[in-house]
Amino acid sequence: MRHRRCIVINMRSALALIMIFIFSGIRQSQTAGGNLMETETKLEGQSKNVTNNNDAIPLTIKSINDTNVSCPGGPESECSTLPFPCIRCNYNYSCHYGRDINVTCTALDHVQCQGNRTFVQQMNCRYCYQTELWQQSCALRGNCNSVNGYFYRTNCTVHSDVFCLGNRSFTRNIKCNWTQGYRWSTALIISITLGGFGADRFYLGHWQEGIGKLFSFGGLGVWTIIDVILISLHYLGPADGSLYI
């Protein structure tokens, strides 16, 4: 008589692996929560320093006599190479948008530099909020929905070497683009091997679906196949809205 071989599933090992994924997901969620609180605190502090004045007036720094302003290059540098806030410029707000114009700038009284303290700089006629994103320094944040391409409002400041009209600090919408460290390859491998026990859902932070998938044995295989397809197509991502790495 032929002896049939039976495949025995070690439930203890499977449950142990699932518990590891659960605790790993909890640890990542706590880390994400701490990063969110820290980012929000920075944004609140920066929002207090950003003015909402949109009046068309020549740009000046808060205190012209502030001797604490540090300028690169030291006293040996040329005055015409100084960036903001070491100089003060007189802008022509009646210029045509997109055209190159010349503006007259003057080094501040307390700044030491070589050459003429009054010089001419060339700039493109546009407001500071119309500059390119690479010309700005913005306060980035996480824990927003990157999968659906959402935008969030944050504070930005134009780089010191960029000439533009209006306020140099402003708010703008930036596309959400961040990651918490979830790997697409890891999620796909877990879904293929342990997807029947909901380990892929636990790994991505979908706790309720993971519990349902665990006790239904992957929806008798149907749910498992669907999740493998969704993860392979990048349609199913982390629950916190971050992107895969």
Higher pLDDT, 142 or 71: 71
C-beta of residue 87 within 8 angstroms of C-beta of residue 129: no
* pLDDT(102) > 80: yes
C-beta of residue 105 within 8 angstroms of C-beta of residue 88: yes
Q: How confident is the model at residue 70 (pLDDT cuts 50, 70, 90)?
A: low
pLDDT digits (tens, 9 = 90+) for 111-130: 888 899 999 999 999 999 99
| pLDDT score, position 209 | 87
| pLDDT score, position 217 | 84
Q: Percent of the chain at pLDDT above 90?
A: 18
CB atoms within 10 A of CB 140: 14
The verdict on pTM exceeding 0.75 is no
To 10 degrees, the CA torsion angle through 211, 217, 220, 225? 70
Q: How confident is the model at residue 55 (pLDDT cuts 50, 70, 90)?
A: very low
